[in-house]
Amino acid sequence: MSFTLAKTERLAAILAQVPVIPVLTFNDVQSGVETAKALRDGGLTVLEITMRTPQALDVLTAIVNEVEGVTVGAGTILEPEHVQKAIAAGAAFLVSPGSSSRLLAAGGEAPIPYLPGCSTASEAMHLAERGVTFAKFFPAGPAGGAPFLKSLVAPLPELHFVPTGGIDMGNVRDYLAIKNVVCCGGSWVAPQQAIESGDWAAIKALASEASALKAR
């Protein structure tokens, strides 16, 4: 496994682009493309497409090919074979909700950056031992929220987190104010109802509000 400096720096550059990374699930390609355009126009240029639907890989490829100015990652990577499929679809980075030895090996050897997940201090320590610098903290709210992440700053200063799960405009600033948080993941910027109704203006407005936030 190899979490190389070059890939870590590439991941750092991606995560630094936005205060919020939209976490998106789509059932059809066109909705995905239009949502990506609205989010981009609102200032959110890094997207995570979750691999939770049969159409996910097609949506990811379509956004990569049709929407300029966005960096698209594949989320909900659960198995080593998901890594290769996401890369083939055009993903620029990989995200998993947790981590396993097999997945860490596959993600570490991938040619694109990988953001593994954790939800406890022990899991965070395990990732740090494997050379991980950036980790997804999921599910952020149920796992302890902003106070938990703040408590990890002193004992694990080398780790930086992307909290995701249970975050919205009501609490996102609490996370972004923490020293070891680089950005947050969230689905509130593209509500499913807005996607289904084609309300791209609403999604753009939510993205504009979120893109104006700043991490510490």
Which residues are catalytic, by number? 48, 136
Beta bridge partners of 69: none
Contact 178, 153 (CB under 8 A): yes
User: How many residues are there in the chain?
Assistant: 216
Secondary structure of 4-59 as H, E, C letters: CHHHHHHHHHHHCCCCEEEEECCCCHHHHHHHHHHHHHCCCCEEEEECCCCCHHHH
SS3 162: strand
Q: Which residues contact 204 (CB under 8 A, 6 or more apart)?
A: 38, 39, 41, 42
